A and B are shown apart, each in its own frame.
Chain A
Amino acid sequence: MVDLNKKEYRKREFLYLVPLWLLSLIVPDAEDLYSYQRKEFKKRDFFYLVVLLLLPLAWHDPHFHHLMVLAGIYAILAMGLSLFLGYAGQISLGHAAFFGIGAYTTAILTTRYGLPTFLAFWVSAGVAASAAYLIGRPILKLKGYFLALATLGFGEIFLVIVRESQSITGGVIGIFNIPYLSLAGFSFDSYLKQYYLTWGVLLGLLLFSKNLVRSKVGRALLAISASEDAAASVGINVAKVKTGIFVISAIFAGFAGSLFACIMATANPEAFSLGLSILIVMMVILGGMGNLYGPIFGSILLTYLMDILGRYQEWSLPIYGVILILLLIFFPDGIGTRLGIRLIYLISYWSKKRRRDEGKL
């Protein structure tokens, strides 16, 4: 009798374990990102790559391609912010400004000075980096709310400057007719090509950040996130590392901005407001702090959410606000993390409950 019951449990637990096991195949392993050993190319990474390569070919829908291009750009932004926010534990609400700096640099250089887009792509990252260095040195000694406010202030100043200096940036109207990114005569002019371009850049930056996180700098970031005083006491130059990671995340934002300008063919100040900064931070929070794959999933999720909400026109913003608050209340440490905890909890709860019920019988 007892044995039979036990077998019954095993069968049922197996039922719950199958979806979990399937989930564990797809969901990236957090251990990878923290371990010192250089891991070989895993089956799981191969799975991602194949899905990335084949998805747009299998699902041939221009709207889907366009959304995935946007999601890729946001993912680059969110991944850069994830290094600053998730790993180093600092807050930035002004990342849209670096995105905007990247976009405007590309726009101005290509339309006014006729620079090749490929060159402008690198220059815009450089400009974003130098802006981040100049602004980062003074404000990164702040913490918490005050850092958030200072970065937000930087974003607002950027917007004011862009709106007012009409001779350079075109004011509120913005800049039009930015050429598509082209390299050696090959122009990325269709959504499909742009998809591969964006996700290719994202992949390169992902490899860079994976290596960065595993390096000495990555350890220093985690130490700073835990306690700045403790990090300083073991010989980490806190100010230097914080500025460095701020600059790196600004470079990511610069790349993303340049891609955005080339793909959308326009740059206007509305696209780089506080709303975008909030959206990027939400992507990082939903993906899970201290995780590199998380922001990518978060950006895909939120890009789709924004697309769906766009159908409700004037109702979209109130619904967006409510969804934002609900997500923060129910998933404050990321959807993946929280769902994993919930699943494990549910499984243990169900089996315990069943055992308890059996005991009563």
Chain B
Amino acid sequence: MDLWPNILQLLSSGITIGAVYAMVALGFVTISRASQIINFAQGEFVMLGGVTTFFLLKSVNIPYPLAILMAISIVVIIGFLLYILVIYPLRKASVLILIMATLGVSIFLSSTSGLIFGTLPKALPPFSGAKPFQVWGVSVVPQNLWVLGTTFILLIILYLLSHRTLLGKAMEASSTDPLGADLLGISRNLMTFLAFGVSAGVGAIAGILITPIFFTSYNAGPLLGLKGFIGAVLGGWGKNSGAILGGFTLGIIESLSTAFIPSGYKDGVAFAILLVILYFRPKGILGSPFMDSRRW
């Protein structure tokens, strides 16, 4: 039985999908660092990124790099609109109302994109060549390297943004100590607004990167968003490094699980991991800066 190369192959695809989960998790963490809100529509940004790029590339015939840039900016604008139209009016509402409102946004965005762009799954052309090459008997598509490289760059950018700039510090302050942030003259609304933009941008990039590998259809958003969130919880809620670690761990476990159980149960594995991690270690692998606060 050639189980070993099979497992290596699964590992490679697990790392790729893990990178996507990690990027979605980064989007969640970016918002939670600024406002302790969880945006259940995060997965829709991923879907919109892929689908909008496909639309610009195939129907409007815009060159690929320009289409990518335009798609990212469109999704960022949608993120800003989401904050202005939904989150801002509900900024004083309870957790339950916010969850329901973002779920409503998720329903609206996915069904609207199904109406506008069609319900068929979309596949973008790969960035640079579709010819797979062999590494230790595992065939790797160049797109996988693009995904990994971009995840790494995004992590560095977000790290620098949150730890090395005044803006990042202000965002974190407005989440960890709202009253103190108010006293220092930090506009909490502005910080959350910007965080929504950044997280929409990260989501869109993730969507554009995976569309050449996995098909993106209009209803892919909720599941991707939830798995990204599970990744963020698994690694350590509220930490960029935790989001990356959790996303990759989740992707690899999920991919390897298909070697042992029927692949239909793959989605269940992620949620089983979630229940286990919430029960035994709710603050995640790396620990969470928010877990001691009363709100959780």
Contact = CB atoms under 8 A, between A and B. Distances in A.
Interface stretch (B72-80, B101-109, B169-177): B101-109
B93 interface: yes
B270 to A, nearest CB: 8
Interface string A154-176: 10110011011000000000000
B99 A332 contact: no
Nearest to A278: B103
A322 B264 contact: no
A161 B271 CA distance: 12
Given A150-B275, A153-B271, A314 B99 contact: no
Contact of A325 (B105, B115, B267): B105
B260 interface: no
Interface in A25-70: none
Given A144-B296, A146-B282, A150-B274, A320 B100 contact: no
A204 interface: no
A329 interface: yes
A163 B264 contact: yes
Contacts of A359: none
Given A148-B99, A281-B100, A332-B90, A153 B275 contact: yes
Nearest to B280: A138
B285 to A, nearest CB: 16
Contact of B265 (A149, A160, A274): A160
Interface in B130-145: none
Given A156-B271, A157-B268, A161-B268, A138 B279 contact: yes
A333 B93 CA distance: 9
A317 B226 contact: no
A285 B89 CA distance: 17
A328 B295 CA distance: 21
A149 B274 contact: yes
B111 interface: yes
A164 B90 contact: no
A143 B296 CA distance: 5
A91 B268 contact: no
A145 B111 contact: no
A84 to B, nearest CB: 12
B104 A152 contact: no
Contacts of A154: 271, 275
Interface in B96-136: 96-97, 99-101, 103-112, 114-115
A55 B263 CA distance: 51
Nearest to A151: B275
B220 to A, nearest CB: 14
B99 A145 contact: yes
Given A91-B96, A150-B278, A321 B107 contact: yes
Nearest to B262: A164
A139 interface: yes
A321 B111 contact: yes
A149 B103 CA distance: 12
B137 to A, nearest CB: 31
A139 B279 contact: yes
A132 interface: no
Contacts of B268: 156-157, 160-161, 164
Contacts of A153: 226, 230, 271, 274-275
A240 B271 CA distance: 25
Interface residues of B, number: 44
A146 B278 contact: yes
Contacts of A248: none
B233 interface: yes
Nearest to A164: B264
A318 interface: yes
A156 B262 CA distance: 17
Given A91-B95, A154-B275, A320 B264 contact: no
B93 A325 contact: no
B218 to A, nearest CB: 10
A96 to B, nearest CB: 13
Nearest to B92: A332
Contact of B229 (A149, A315, A317, A318): A149
Contact of A145 (B38, B101, B109): B38
A282 interface: yes
A201 to B, nearest CB: 27
B272 interface: yes
A143 B271 CA distance: 17
A81 to B, nearest CB: 11
Contacts of A322: 104, 108
A157 B271 contact: yes
A317 B111 contact: yes
Nearest to B223: A156
Contacts of A157: 268, 271-272, 275
A-B interface, 10 closest residue pairs, ranked by CB to CB distance from nearest: A321-B108, A317-B111, A153-B271, A160-B268, A324-B104, A321-B107, A164-B264, A325-B104, A138-B279, A153-B274
Given A143-B296, A157-B271, 18 more contacts: A138-B279, A144-B296, A148-B96, A148-B99, A149-B274, A150-B274, A154-B271, A156-B268, A274-B222, A317-B111, A317-B114, A318-B108, A318-B111, A320-B107, A321-B109, A321-B112, A324-B101, A328-B97
14 contacts: A144-B296, A149-B226, A150-B274, A157-B271, A160-B265, A160-B268, A161-B268, A164-B264, A281-B100, A321-B108, A324-B107, A328-B90, A328-B100, A332-B90
